[in-house]
Amino acid sequence: MFSVEQYFKADSIDSACAYLAEHSDARLIAGGTDVLIRLREGKPEFRHLVDIQSIDALQQLTVDSEGRITIGASVTISRLIQFLKQQKLCKSLIEGASSLGGPQVRNMATVGGNICNGAPSADTAAPLLTYNAELTIQSQQGARVVPMESFYQGPGKVDLKPGELVTAITINPEQYQNTGSHFYKYAMRKAMDIATIGCAASCELESSSTPGKQRVKELRIAYTVAAPVPKRCRTAEGLAKHRTVDASLIDELAAVVLEDLSPRNSWRAAKDFREHIIRTLARRVVTEAITRAGGEL
């Protein structure tokens, strides 16, 4: 028996926000792949459940005429994968989402849940960071838009105030158009496992580049399980800007990528092993992103 005092099925974003504001110990539930496990373990930090799965506004999944992608917080991982494949968009996000759990989990888990639980290992986090995704957060006081990079505040901690919920994730067209991207998840198993390290990269080449003299216009690199939160590698990104695409660039990126990261020892992997994987994935993932952008190495 789950130790929940009250279950509330919200029929709108406003009603969900009102209930959250009134009950500080309430927790949202959509797919339930995280919340129900906490309840089953008998150690929940909440006494009330707010079911938001039936709110139509949280199920939107669109790309508008300008190319802006909007992902409702309650969109399932499986639905997101299918949509992006059909639209031929955001390859790294497809790869990240596809690496999450197994088919049964992906059919239930939601994009909003994967982001909002604050896990450093969230499989959609690194790709979304490299697309400079923005989160729309709603409360009774109105809506605010937060860059995903500033949303994570610590392990299990995100920028959500009492009475707030994430309603949508937005990717603007300039963040993914004309780019090549890739995500790779290193884990002990190839499926149904939490990442030891995850890495995503997105690369845009300068339009004036010619074969053999191609230059990087912008490169974004992000990791999971390499710091207390999913993290961009700003030092490596700055190093790559306007640089010629060649083997020496990849070597330099692998050498500096750890400057913005702080991997730790855990039962899953030792710190020095994580550092080795981080450098290895920098080479592999960035090389593939450059290749998908039309670069030659």
User: What pLDDT score does 2 carry?
Assistant: 66
How many angstroms separate the CA atoms of 230 and 124, rounded?
Answer: 10
**pLDDT tens across 130-184, in order?**
999 999 999 999 999 999 999 999 999 999 999 999 999 999 999 999 999 999 9
How many angstroms separate the CA atoms of 288 and 224, rounded?
Answer: 18
Burial of 283 (0-12, 13-18, 19+ CB in 10 A): middle
Element of type H or E holding 159: none
pTM of structure: 0.95
Measured at the CA of 11, the angle between CA 10 and CA 15, to 5 degrees, comes to 60
HSE value, Cβ hemisphere, 13 Å, CA-based, for 294: 16
Domains of the chain are 6-51 (3.30.43.10), 56-174 (3.30.465.10), 178-292 (3.30.390.50)
Cβ–Cβ under 8 Å, residues 229 and 152? yes
Average pLDDT, stretch 12-35?
94
Q: How confident is the model at residue 190 (pLDDT cuts 50, 70, 90)?
A: confident
Both tokens of 207, joined, read: 């339009």
